[in-house]
């Protein structure tokens, strides 16, 4: 029913194959448009759209080593490194 199609990426201009399996998947999901970007360009676009996470320095309350956490530490509240946090769970 489906046959492989060769498409041209609108970002890099390279040809890529839209396989029969991918076409079937698109049809099952109800997608009506063919992909316009090759896999590497789709992945790059997806990764660029995510904002980078700000990390904060802290000292682990259990082992005392320097660590990075994705939140602003609050005065008087313990902060744990990845290993110590995993032990406490």
pLDDT digits (tens, 9 = 90+) for 3-18: 999 999 999 999 999 9
- Residue 81, judged by CB atoms within 10 A of its CB (0-12, 13-18, 19+), counts as buried
Residue 88, pLDDT score: 87
What is the pTM (predicted TM-score) of this model?
Answer: 0.55
Residue 47, pLDDT score: 83
Question: Residue 29: in which H helix or E strand, if any?
Answer: helix 20-29
Q: What angle do CA 35, 39, 41 make, to 5 degrees?
A: 90
Which residues fall within 8 angstroms of residue 41, CB to CB, at 6 or more apart?
Answer: 9, 11, 12
Question: Residue 17: in which H helix or E strand, if any?
Answer: strand 15-18
Residue 85, pLDDT score: 93
Residue 67, pLDDT score: 95
Each residue's pLDDT tens digit, 18-74 = 999 999 999 999 999 999 999 999 999 988 877 778 999 999 999 999 999 999 999
Task: Tell me which residue of 66, 10, 61, 53 sits closest to 33, measured CA to CA.
Answer: 10
Residue 1, pLDDT score: 82
Per DSSP, 75 falls in state T
């Amino acid at each position: 029913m489906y046959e492989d199609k060769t498409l041209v990426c609108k970002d890099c201009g390279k040809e890529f194959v839209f396989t029969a399996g991918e076409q079937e998947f698109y049809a099952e999901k109800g997608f009506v448009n063919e992909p316009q970007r090759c896999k590497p360009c789709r992945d790059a676009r997806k990764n660029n759209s995510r904002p980078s996470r700000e990390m904060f320095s802290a000292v682990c309350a259990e082992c005392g080593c320097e660590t990075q956490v994705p939140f602003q530490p609050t005065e008087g509240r313990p902060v744990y490194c990845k290993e110590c946090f995993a032990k406490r769970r």
